[in-house]
């Protein structure tokens, strides 16, 4: 199956159980105009799995925080119509397209939607994933830089077609991929192993727990994004893409770590894992060995 760069990372993120109990780590696809970001995400729609596309720049902040309304001496926030699109399926993708065209007021209204899956006081079903797409601001007219709080709520994925892969897809047809299968119960157990490895790394390099947003142009380390990374590492482990004793991790594994915590912290962590004699997960989880 021929896919653009970044597609495999996105598919893993969509199926990864998130720290707050939702399904999917919020993912932001970065790429030049015309690289097929929107068409790929929308191709993931299936019966019982809708994709709802919203272009944030043509929406008001109240379309994400709710319309204030006075009722019985209290202020209510009426949820927008789009938030009901997932009620029947209880799952799907909320796709926020052209995110760098959204002004700061709309970006602020999106913060709770992305992290907590809440529109005003209405909770989206836990099976609703959040994906966004953006062109770098210097590639569009009237673009806005994303605020650090918004950037820190996403896994950042570089998206592009390699020339040879695109020509092959053009000749043979563009793939409509299926989502990988990740068992939430097994994933929960695997998360414990990767938490211990990240803890051991941060004990040695506590300065890498967090980074200034100005030090990185997209992803940057924080307690939140390290937790995102742990959950994605566990997914990679279950899918055979994580480092093992005598076996390096895949490029996809490295990209997912970097997309959460930024390049500097990711390079340091990957070097730590590479040079570490990785213990048996059961021994580590049961306290028979330490890292």
pLDDT in tens, 244-262: 866 778 999 999 999 999 9
Task: Give the other-Cβ count within 10 Å of 261's Cβ.
Answer: 28
- pLDDT-derived band at 171 (thresholds 50, 70, 90) equals confident
- The pLDDT of residue 290: 62
- The pLDDT of residue 67: 82
Radius of gyration of the chain (CA): 20
- The pLDDT of residue 66: 80
- The pLDDT of residue 113: 95
Average pLDDT over residues 202-224: 91
- pLDDT-derived band at 283 (thresholds 50, 70, 90) equals low
Q: Which CATH architecture has domain 7-172?
A: 3-Layer(aba) Sandwich (3.40)
User: What are all long-range contacts of 40-44, with beta carbons under 8 Å and residues at least 24 apart?
Assistant: 40/4, 40/7, 40/10, 41/10, 41/93, 41/95, 41/131, 41/133, 42/95, 43/174, 43/176, 44/14, 44/93, 44/176, 44/177, 44/179
> How far from 285 is each of 15, 56, 74, 185, 217, CA to CA, in Å?
24, 43, 50, 16, 36
Domain ranges of the chain: 7-172, 184-285
- The pLDDT of residue 287: 64
In percent, the amount of the chain with pLDDT more than 90 equals 69
- The pLDDT of residue 50: 97
Q: Is the pLDDT of residue 15 over 70?
A: yes
Q: Is the pLDDT of residue 14 over 80?
A: yes
In this structure, what is the dihedral angle of CA atoms 273, 279, 284, 289, given to the nearest 10 degrees?
Answer: -110
- pLDDT-derived band at 111 (thresholds 50, 70, 90) equals very high
pLDDT tens, position by position, 63-101: 898 887 777 778 777 889 999 999 999 999 999 999 999
Buried b / exposed e across 97-110, counting CB within 10 Å, b at 16+? bbbbbbeeebbbbb
């Amino acid at each position: 199956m021929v896919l653009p760069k970044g597609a495999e990372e996105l598919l893993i993120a969509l199926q990864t159980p998130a720290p707050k109990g939702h399904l999917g780590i919020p993912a932001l696809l970065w790429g030049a105009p015309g690289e097929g970001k929107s068409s790929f995400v929308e191709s993931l729609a299936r019966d019982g799995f809708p994709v709802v596309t919203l272009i944030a720049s043509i929406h008001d902040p109240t379309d994400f925080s709710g319309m204030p309304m006075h009722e019985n001496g209290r202020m209510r926030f009426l949820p927008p119509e789009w938030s009901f699109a997932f009620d029947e399926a209880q799952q799907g993708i909320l796709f926020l397209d052209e995110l760098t065209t959204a002004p700061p007021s709309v970006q602020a209204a999106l913060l709770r939607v992305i992290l907590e899956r809440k529109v005003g006081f209405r909770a989206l079903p836990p099976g609703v994933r959040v994906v966004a797409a953006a062109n770098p601001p210097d590639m569009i007219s009237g673009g806005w830089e994303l605020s650090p709080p918004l950037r820190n709520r996403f896994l950042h994925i570089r998206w592009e077609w390699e020339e040879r892969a695109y020509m092959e897809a053009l000749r043979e047809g563009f793939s409509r991929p299926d989502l990988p299968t990740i068992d939430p119960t097994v994933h929960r157990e695997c998360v414990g192993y990767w938490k211990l490895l990240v803890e051991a790394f941060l004990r040695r390099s506590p300065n890498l727990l967090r980074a200034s947003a100005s030090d990185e142009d997209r992803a940057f380390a924080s307690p939140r994004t390290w937790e995102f990374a742990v959950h994605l590492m566990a997914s990679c482990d279950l899918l055979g893409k994580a480092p093992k004793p005598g076996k390096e991790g895949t490029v996809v594994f490295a990209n997912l770590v970097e997309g959460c915590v930024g390049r500097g912290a990711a390079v340091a962590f990957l070097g730590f894992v590479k040079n570490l004699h990785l213990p048996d997960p059961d021994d580590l989880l049961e306290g028979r060995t330490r890292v």
